[in-house]
Amino acid sequence: MALLLLLIIATTCADARSKKERWHYSSRHKGILTAPSKADDPLMDATLVEQQMKSRGLYEQQIRPDPTTGVPHVVWTFWFGKPMVGKRLESFRMIQENIGVPVMLVTETNLPLCNLSHFPIHSAFPYLSGLHKSDYLRSYFMHFFGGGYHDIKPETHSWADKFNELHDSNVWLYGVAETKGGVACDEGFCVKELCTTTPASWCSQNNCCRTLTNDEYAKLVVNCEWIMRPRTEMTRIWIEAVKNDLDQQIDNLKAHPAPFPRCCQHGENNYPLAWAQLQGQKFHPLQYKFLKHIKQGLLPWEKGGEYFGENEYVAENVSRSM
């Protein structure tokens, strides 16, 4: 098993001998930068990303957008915690083998290569749980780089032709239809982002999240897999909202860092962030705000398939159902 894990890391992550060799890449997926530069707005300036990634030998291989969609043909995955073993490792291999485009595994080792100087990874990052590190990076990578994202869960479908859905520039997010009970929501954020564009009834008696989760969920896409266009107004609000949360909680996070990677649904160590605070609580309300740019159509990952590694829930008393 150790040899198998080393083989996977060798094909997806860092080779200390050369930055250009730190990522697995399939040369058939190439393109040119098409997004306009906005030099007066660093958050939306594609050239800043291009310049830094070229200097690190990564632009041509991973970040360069397809010329017809403006979206790189790549699927990002994140892993921060104990080495993948068992079903988790099998799930990662299934994604690699079936999804039909290059799969990039981002870890503590190679993350510095994608840390942008004009918007550096937040100083709270070391204090986050492994789960929240992944959640934070979803907003970071989707805004600055775009492409696909997939939880490390069993995948049997190919996405090779699914990136074509973003030929329509009106499509910002393409994913799997959401199911009842799958929507996360924070009332304050929901009201802030939606109550200027939705009926007044949404904004009274804590009704914004109730309406979104009970009545409107079927219009949204799930949290765990999607393809996304970079540098849209949706990703801008998302990354800024996540940054704002971490700005507010940095002192609390330093005092009460996550004690284990899948923390913390039960307030362990007085960890200050809610389970879905950095991802679902932002991602779902923002989808509704920009609903005309959301498209369903991806097929779901193999639901019901086991995906936990043995080292994820035994020592840390984490339920298999999470």
Taking the chain (322 residues) in runs of 10, the rounded mean pLDDT of each run is 39 35 33 40 90 88 85 96 91 96 95 96 96 96 97 95 97 96 92 82 81 92 96 97 98 94 81 94 95 96 69 47 32
Amino acid 30: pLDDT: 31
Among positive and negative, which fits the CA dihedral 26, 31, 35, 36? positive
Asked whether residue 111 is assigned to any structural domain, the reply reads: yes
Exposure letters 171-203 (e unless 16+ CB within 10 A, then b): bbbbbbbbeeebbbbbbebbbebbeeebeeebb
Helices 233-255 and 280-289: crossing angle, nearest 10°? 160
Give the chain's domain count: 1
Amino acid 246: pLDDT: 98
Asked whether residue 279 is assigned to any structural domain, the reply reads: no
Amino acid 64: pLDDT: 87
* Cα 245–Cα 248–Cα 251 angle in degrees, nearest 5: 125
Amino acid 196: pLDDT: 77
Asked whether residue 253 is assigned to any structural domain, the reply reads: yes
Amino acid 202: pLDDT: 79
Asked whether residue 17 is assigned to any structural domain, the reply reads: no
Which strands make up the sheet holding 75-78, listed edge to edge?
Answer: 103-106, 75-78, 147-150, 221-228, 173-177, 294-296
| Separation between Cα atoms, residue 143 and residue 137, nearest integer Å | 10
Asked whether residue 182 is assigned to any structural domain, the reply reads: no
Asked whether residue 95 is assigned to any structural domain, the reply reads: yes
Asked whether residue 124 is assigned to any structural domain, the reply reads: yes
Exposure letters 87-98 (e unless 16+ CB within 10 A, then b): bbbbbbbbbbeb
HSE (CB half, 13 Å, CA atoms) of 52?
16
Amino acid 41: pLDDT: 85
Asked whether residue 131 is assigned to any structural domain, the reply reads: yes
| Separation between Cα atoms, residue 272 and residue 275, nearest integer Å | 10
Helix, strand, or coil here: 10?
Answer: helix
Domain of residue 133: give its range: 45-169+222-270+293-313
Amino acid 304: pLDDT: 61
pTM score, whole prediction: 0.84
Amino acid 310: pLDDT: 65
